[in-house]
Amino acid sequence: MQNRFAAALLIVIVMTSQSLSQDSKFIVFERDIQPILQNQCLKCHGPVEAKNDFRVDSKKSLLEYIQPGAADSSSLWTDYLVTKDPDMLMPPAQAPHPGGLSQTDLLFVRTWINEGAEGEWRADENPIAIERAQPASSTATTTAAKLWAFQGLFHPAAVHLPVALLSVSALFVFLSFFNRNSFEPAAFHCLWIGAFGAVAACVTGWAYSAHEGYGAGFRLDLVNGIDRHRWAGIFVATFSMLIIPLAMKARHTGDLTKRVLWFLASVVLMGSVSITGYQGGELTYGEDHYLKYYQELFPDNQIAEPAPATK
């Protein structure tokens, strides 16, 4: 009862503030909004971990989802804070707490956006996060640490080699059933070069994730986008290395069973490479980036959402 009364009183105050001159601001970002973002959002969208490449401690990142002066036209508000979709509502539900912000916090955020979304993140409010937000190259002290951080920058380029070679290798294994002498050697060489390339991509990716602000911890949290991408990459590298001995035996003996197993393993590997690459794209462009881009290109051919099941 007291919470409802406080919220109602706060609404009256906010509505009264709307009648003040435009220079008068009811909400102060550093005082009112930063604590909300820090307590509710920073863990998953901060310097240690930045899901979907979105950080609440970055004004530039926030403004990609906010239209200052218009909360109802801001995707941060409509798509994530007040949406009816439980999978999109932020922060997500975690027992025993329901999803979403409290009514009071929502009121503060909405008023802040409508007032122009002014203010900057104060570094002294969260010195630990700011320290972690620094690139690995900035915090490296030894020569070895600096070299480790630097080699991570090659990850975006290094991933293309194993993606291409391991995918083409599966195609060549398939074609080898029609012309073994021509395609089987190509399939094998694409496999082993791609496998070592996948290992290199994992190594560079681990350092690159720290540089991008995702952290370099060793966890098994498959709900987390960066962890899913890491473990998928590790699986691709490990599985591709394990296929090499099978491929060598298949080439040496010519046994049909081993050749079929090689092909099936290559198909699984090609699918894993595709999934890993897509997850990497999610970290850069956000979830469902293919669908969003399709909808932008073809607004007249929207994919209809499935109708809710009826009892």
Tell me: pLDDT of 173 over 90.
Answer: yes
Is the distance from CB of 155 to CB of 208 less than 8 angstroms? yes
Query: How many Å apart are CA 199 and CA 180, to the nearest integer?
Result: 28
Of how many residues is the chain composed?
311
pLDDT at 24: 58
For 296: left if phi > 0, alpha if psi spans -120 to 50, otherwise beta; the answer is alpha
Closest C-alpha to 159, from 242, 281, 47 = 281
**Interatomic CA distance for residues 241 and 252, integer angstroms:** 18
Instruction: Quickly tell me which residue has 């069973």 as its tokens.
Output: 257
CB 290 within 8 A of CB 303: no
Which residues fall within 8 angstroms of residue 169, CB to CB, at 6 or more apart? 187, 188, 190, 191, 194, 266, 269
Average pLDDT, the chain: 78
| pLDDT at residue 6, rounded to an integer | 52
Is pLDDT larger for residue 125 or for residue 300? 300
Write the CB contacts of 286 (distance below 8 Å, at least 6 apart in sequence).
Answer: 52, 53, 54, 292
Q: How far is residue 286 CA from its own chain's centroid?
A: 6
Q: Is the pTM of this model over 0.85?
A: no
**pLDDT tens sequence across 201-241:** 998 888 887 766 666 666 676 667 778 888 899 999 999 99
Tell me, what DSSP letter sits at residue 64? T
Q: Write phi, then psi, for 18 (nearest 5 degrees).
A: -65, -25
- As a whole number of angstroms, the distance between CA 34 and CA 32 comes to 6
96: cis peptide before it, omega within 30°?
yes
Separation in Å, CA 190 to CA 27, 183, 194, 241: 59, 11, 6, 12
Tokens 């009862």, residue located: 1
CA 84 from chain centre, in angstroms, equals: 22
- Tokens representing 86 are 């439980």
Percent of the chain with pLDDT over 90: 26
Residues 270, 166: contact at Cβ < 8 Å? yes
The sign of the torsion formed by the CA atoms of 218, 290, 86, 89 equals positive
Domain positions in the chain: 2-133, 138-288
**DSSP-based three-state secondary structure for 97:** strand
Confidence at 182, pLDDT banded by 50, 70, 90: very high
* Mean pLDDT, range 2-18, rounded to an integer: 50
Query: Which of residues 258 and 46 earns the better pLDDT score?
Result: 258
Asked if pLDDT for residue 111 goes beyond 50, the answer is yes
pLDDT tens string 127-170: 333 333 445 555 556 888 788 788 888 888 888 889 999 999 99
Q: Encoding tokens for residue 15?
A: 């509505």
pLDDT at 311 over 60: no
The predicted structure's pLDDT at residue 235: 94
Amino acid letter, residue 74: S
> Which region, left, alpha or beta, applies to residue 115 given φ > 0 means left and ψ of -120 to 50 means alpha?
alpha
Please check whether residue 291 is in contact with residue 251, taking contact to mean a CB–CB distance below 8 angstroms.
Answer: no
Query: How far is 129 from 123, CA to CA, in rounded Å?
Result: 8
Rounded Cα distance between 112 and 109, Å, is: 5
